[in-house]
Amino acid sequence: MTSPETRIRSLDDPSLFVDTPATIYDAIPPYPPRTEREAEFYTLREGEMLINIGPQHPSTHGVLRVVLKIDGERIVDLDPVLGYLHRGVEKICENSDWHMVISHCDPLEYIASMFSEYVPVLAAEKLLDVTVPRRAEYIRVLACELNRISSHALFMGWLALDLGGITPILYGFLERDEIVEMLAALTGQRLLFNYMRIGGVNGDLNHEFMSRLGDWMSHALRHIEDSMALINSNEIFVGRTRGLGRIDRQTALRMCLSGPPLRATGIPYDVRRAHPYSVYPELEFEIPTREEGDSYARYLLHLDEIKQSIHIIDQVLHRIPDGPIMAKLPRLLRPRPGRAWAAIESPRGQYGVYAMSDGTDQPFRLRIHDPSFFNLQSVGLLSPGHLIADIMAIMASLDPIMGGVDK
Amino acid sequence: MSFVPGLGILKGMALTFRNMLRLKPTVQYPEEVYPVAPRHRGRLLLLYDEAGALKCETCFQCAQACPIECIDMGGVDTRDRYHVHWGPAEQYGERREESALRRSGRPVPDPTATPFEPIDTAALDAILADEGYDPRHMLAILGRTQDAYGHLSVAALKHISHATGAWYAEVYGTATFYDQLRMAPAGGHVLAICRCPSCTFRGAGRVLAAAEAAASTTLGGSSPEGAVRLEAAACHGGSPGAAYVTLDGAVQAEPTARGITDLLTRLRAGHAPAGRA
Amino acid sequence: MTIVSRPWQRLSPAGRVLLPLAAVVGGLGVVFLGGVSSGILPNLWSWIYEALNDNVPLLRFLVAATAVLLFTVPTAFVIIYLEMKVIALQNLRLGPNRQGPWGVLASTLHGFKVLAKEDFTPTGADVPVFTLAPVVVYLASVMSFLVIPFAPGLFAQDMNLALLYFFAVGGLGVVGLMMAGWSSFNKYSLLGALRAAAQIISYEIPLTLSVVGVIMLAGTLSLNTIVHQQSGSFLDWYVFRQPLAAVIFFVAATAEGNRTPFDLTEADSEIVAGFATEYSGMRFGFFFFAEYVNVFILSALTVTLFLGGWNAPLDLTPVWQALGAHPGAIDLSGLGVGLLIAVLVVPPILTVLLALPFWMLFTKLRFWQALVIGFLCFNALVGAAVLIWAAFSFDAVMGLLWFLGKTYVFVVIFVWMRATLPRVRIDQLMGFAWKWLLPASLANLFVTALAILIIAQVRG
Amino acid sequence: MAEVAEVLRIVHDDPGLRFELLADLCGVDTGAAMEVVYHLWSAGSRDWLRVVATGLAREDPRAPSVTFLWRGAEWAEREAYDMFGIVFEGNRDLRRIYMPPDYRSFPLRKDFLLPDDASRSPGEGVRPMEAAPEPAVLTGTPADLRHAREATP
Please name the member of B84, B91, B102 whose beta carbon is closest to the beta carbon of D120: B102
Task: Tally the residues of chain A.
Answer: 407
B26: in domain: no
B109: in domain: no
Mutation test of the interface with chain C: which of A69, A158, A162, A167, choosing the one with the most C Cβ atoms within 10 A? A167
Residue A17 backbone dihedrals phi, psi, to 5 degrees = -95, 130
User: What is residue D27's predicted lDDT score, i.e. its pLDDT?
Assistant: 93
Please write the tens of the pLDDT for every residue from B238-251. Answer: 666 788 888 887 88
Verify whether the Cβ–Cβ distance B40 to A184 is below 8 Å.
Answer: yes
User: What is residue B83's predicted lDDT score, i.e. its pLDDT?
Assistant: 53
User: What is residue C3's predicted lDDT score, i.e. its pLDDT?
Assistant: 65
The SS3 of residue A229 is: helix
Domain shared by B203 and B232, yes or no: yes
Nearest-neighbour CA in chain C from A57: distance (Å): 7
Nearest-neighbour CA in chain B from D80: distance (Å): 24
Q: What rounded mean pLDDT belongs to chain A?
A: 88
User: What is residue C275's predicted lDDT score, i.e. its pLDDT?
Assistant: 87
Contacts of A100 in chain B (CB under 8 A): 65, 67
Query: Could you tell me if the ipTM is greater than 0.90?
Result: no
Non-local (6+) Cβ contacts of A55 within 8 A are A63, A64, A65, A84
Percentage of residues in chain D with pLDDT exceeding 70?
72
Mean pLDDT over C179-191 rounds to 88
B41: in domain: no
Please write the tens of the pLDDT for every residue from C67-115. Answer: 888 889 899 999 999 999 999 999 999 989 888 888 889 999 999 999 8
H-only helix segments in chain D: 2-13, 73-84, 142-146, 148-151
Nearest-neighbour CA in chain C from B222: distance (Å): 31
- State the CB neighbour count (10 A cutoff) for residue C136: 20
| C-alpha to C-alpha distance for B250 and B252, rounded to whole angstroms | 6
Query: What pLDDT band is residue A90 in, cutting at 50, 70 and 90?
Result: very high
Verify whether the Cβ–Cβ distance B103 to D146 is below 8 Å.
Answer: no
Contacts of D120 in chain B (CB under 8 A): 102-103, 105
Verify whether the Cβ–Cβ distance C91 to A170 is below 8 Å.
Answer: yes
Mean pLDDT over B118-146 rounds to 90
Verify whether the Cβ–Cβ distance B13 to C420 is below 8 Å.
Answer: yes
Verify whether the Cβ–Cβ distance B102 to D146 is below 8 Å.
Answer: no
Q: Identify which of A86, A88, A36, A99 has the alpha carbon closest to the alpha carbon of residue A332.
A: A99
Give the Å distances, CA to CA, from C134 to B102, C66, C168, C176, C179.
Answer: 46, 19, 18, 7, 9
Mean pLDDT over A117-146 rounds to 95
Q: How close are the terminal C-alpha atoms of chain D, in Å?
A: 44
Mean pLDDT over B72-100 rounds to 56
Domain shared by B193 and B248, yes or no: yes
Domain enclosing residue B140, as ranges: 122-177
- Whether A381 and chain D come into contact, CB under 8 Å, resolves to yes
Nearest CA in chain D to B100: D117
B139: in domain: yes
Q: How many domains does chain B have?
A: 3
Nearest-neighbour CA in chain B from A189: distance (Å): 6
User: What is residue A383's predicted lDDT score, i.e. its pLDDT?
Assistant: 87
Query: What pLDDT band is residue A197 in, cutting at 50, 70 and 90?
Result: very high
Boundary residue ending a domain (B43, B74, B104): B104
Give the Å distances, CA to CA, from A322 to A137, A201, A319, A325, D127.
Answer: 11, 14, 10, 9, 53
Contacts of C86 in chain B (CB under 8 A): 20
Domains by residue range for chain D, with CATH = 2-151 (3.30.460.80)
Contacts of B9 in chain C (CB under 8 A): 420-421
D31: amino acid identity, one letter: G
Nearest CA in chain C to A72: C191
Residue A273 has pLDDT above 60, yes or no: yes
User: What is residue C50's predicted lDDT score, i.e. its pLDDT?
Assistant: 86
User: What is residue C109's predicted lDDT score, i.e. its pLDDT?
Assistant: 92
| C-alpha to C-alpha distance for C386 and C397, rounded to whole angstroms | 11
Q: D129 vs A224, which has greater pLDDT?
A: A224
| Chains in contact with A, counting 3 or more C-beta pairs less than 8 Å apart as contact | B, C, D
Nearest-neighbour CA in chain A from D147: distance (Å): 23
User: What is residue A312's predicted lDDT score, i.e. its pLDDT?
Assistant: 95
Percentage of residues in chain C with pLDDT exceeding 70?
96
- DSSP per position, C399-450: HHHHHHHHHHHHHHHHHHHHHH--PPPHHHHHHIIIIIIHHHHHHHHHHHHH
Nearest-neighbour CA in chain C from B203: distance (Å): 21
Please name the member of A51, A73, A174 whose beta carbon is closest to the beta carbon of C92: A174
Q: Output Rg (C-alpha) for chain B, integer angstroms.
A: 31
Non-local (6+) Cβ contacts of C233 within 8 A are C313, C314, C315
Query: Exposure pattern of C360-383 as b/e (b: 16+ CB <10 Å)?
Result: eeeeebeeeebbebbbebbeeeee
User: What is residue A144's predicted lDDT score, i.e. its pLDDT?
Assistant: 96
Query: What pLDDT band is residue D133 in, cutting at 50, 70 and 90?
Result: very low
Query: What pLDDT band is residue B99 in, cutting at 50, 70 and 90?
Result: low
Percentage of residues in chain B with pLDDT exceeding 70?
75
Query: What pLDDT band is residue B4 in, cutting at 50, 70 and 90?
Result: low
Mean pLDDT over C135-150 rounds to 90
Verify whether the Cβ–Cβ distance A36 to D92 is below 8 Å.
Answer: yes
CB < 8 Å from A in window 58-77 of B: 65, 67
H-only helix segments in B191-256: 197-199, 205-215
The region, left, alpha or beta by phi > 0 then psi within -120 to 50, assigned to residue C374 is alpha
Domain shared by B195 and B258, yes or no: yes
User: What is residue B77's predicted lDDT score, i.e. its pLDDT?
Assistant: 61
Percentage of residues in chain B with pLDDT exceeding 90?
6
Judge whether D87 and D72 are in contact, CB under 8 Å: no
Lowest-confidence segment of A235-249, A345-359, C417-431, D91-105 by average pLDDT? D91-105
Mutation test of the interface with chain D: which of B84, B102, B106, choosing the one with the most D Cβ atoms within 10 A? B102
| C-alpha to C-alpha distance for C319 and C322, rounded to whole angstroms | 5
H-only helix segments in A295-387: 295-319, 371-382
Verify whether the Cβ–Cβ distance D72 to A254 is below 8 Å.
Answer: yes
Nearest-neighbour CA in chain C from A13: distance (Å): 13
Please name the member of B3, B20, B25 whose beta carbon is closest to the beta carbon of C89: B20
B245: in domain: yes
- Whether B13 and chain C come into contact, CB under 8 Å, resolves to yes
Please name the member of D117, D146, D149 whose beta carbon is closest to the beta carbon of B103: D117
| C-alpha to C-alpha distance for A111 and A106, rounded to whole angstroms | 10
Residue B75 has pLDDT above 70, yes or no: no
Please write the tens of the pLDDT for every residue from C326-384. Answer: 666 666 777 778 888 888 888 999 999 999 988 888 888 888 889 998 999 999 999 99
Domains by residue range for chain A, with CATH = 8-81 (no CATH), 89-406 (1.10.645.10)
- Whether C94 and chain B come into contact, CB under 8 Å, resolves to yes
Residue A36 has pLDDT above 50, yes or no: yes
Mean pLDDT over A160-187 rounds to 91
Q: Identify which of A375, A380, A381 has the alpha carbon closest to the alpha carbon of residue A349.
A: A375
CB < 8 Å from D in window 324-353 of A: 339, 341, 343, 350, 352
Cis ω before C261 (30° cut-off from 0): yes
User: What is residue B274's predicted lDDT score, i.e. its pLDDT?
Assistant: 44
Verify whether the Cβ–Cβ distance C90 to B19 is below 8 Å.
Answer: yes
User: What is residue D119's predicted lDDT score, i.e. its pLDDT?
Assistant: 52
Nearest-neighbour CA in chain B from C31: distance (Å): 49
Please write the tens of the pLDDT for every residue from C307-324. Answer: 988 888 887 777 777 776
Maximum average pLDDT range among A279-283, A333-337, C337-341, D45-49: A279-283
**A219-223 long-range contacts, CB within 8 A, separation 24+:** A220/A149, A220/A310, A221/A306, A221/A307, A221/A310, A223/A174, A223/A175
B83: in domain: yes
User: What is residue A19's predicted lDDT score, i.e. its pLDDT?
Assistant: 57
Maximum average pLDDT range among A6-20, B84-98, D139-153: A6-20
Domain shared by B197 and B224, yes or no: yes
Query: What pLDDT band is residue A76 in, cutting at 50, 70 and 90?
Result: very high
Verify whether the Cβ–Cβ distance D120 to B99 is below 8 Å.
Answer: no
Query: What pLDDT band is residue B275 in, cutting at 50, 70 and 90?
Result: very low
Contacts of A275 in chain D (CB under 8 A): 41, 46-48
Query: What pLDDT band is residue D127 in, cutting at 50, 70 and 90?
Result: low
Lowest-confidence segment of A381-385, C151-155, C299-303, C407-411 by average pLDDT? C151-155
- Whether B232 and chain D come into contact, CB under 8 Å, resolves to no
Q: What is the pTM of this model?
A: 0.76
Verify whether the Cβ–Cβ distance A389 to C426 is below 8 Å.
Answer: yes
Contacts of B2 in chain C (CB under 8 A): 431-432, 435-436
Percentage of residues in chain A with pLDDT exceeding 70?
93
User: What is residue A347's predicted lDDT score, i.e. its pLDDT?
Assistant: 95
Query: What pLDDT band is residue A345 in, cutting at 50, 70 and 90?
Result: very high
Nearest-neighbour CA in chain A from D101: distance (Å): 9
Domain shared by B93 and B136, yes or no: no
Please write the tens of the pLDDT for every residue from C217-275. Answer: 988 899 999 999 988 888 889 999 999 999 999 999 999 999 888 988 887 777 778 88
Domain shared by B260 and B198, yes or no: yes
- State the CB neighbour count (10 A cutoff) for residue D117: 14
| Chains in contact with D, counting 3 or more C-beta pairs less than 8 Å apart as contact | A, B
| C-alpha to C-alpha distance for A271 and D48, rounded to whole angstroms | 11
Verify whether the Cβ–Cβ distance A189 to B42 is below 8 Å.
Answer: yes
Nearest-neighbour CA in chain B from A254: distance (Å): 32
Residue D150 has pLDDT above 50, yes or no: no
Mean pLDDT over A339-357 rounds to 94
User: What is residue C327's predicted lDDT score, i.e. its pLDDT?
Assistant: 62
The CATH number of residue B234's host domain is 3.40.30.10
B31: in domain: no
B183: in domain: no
Please name the member of A167, A387, A392 whose beta carbon is closest to the beta carbon of C90: A167
Contacts of B91 in chain D (CB under 8 A): 149
Q: B4 vs C225, which has greater pLDDT?
A: C225
- Whether B6 and chain A come into contact, CB under 8 Å, resolves to yes
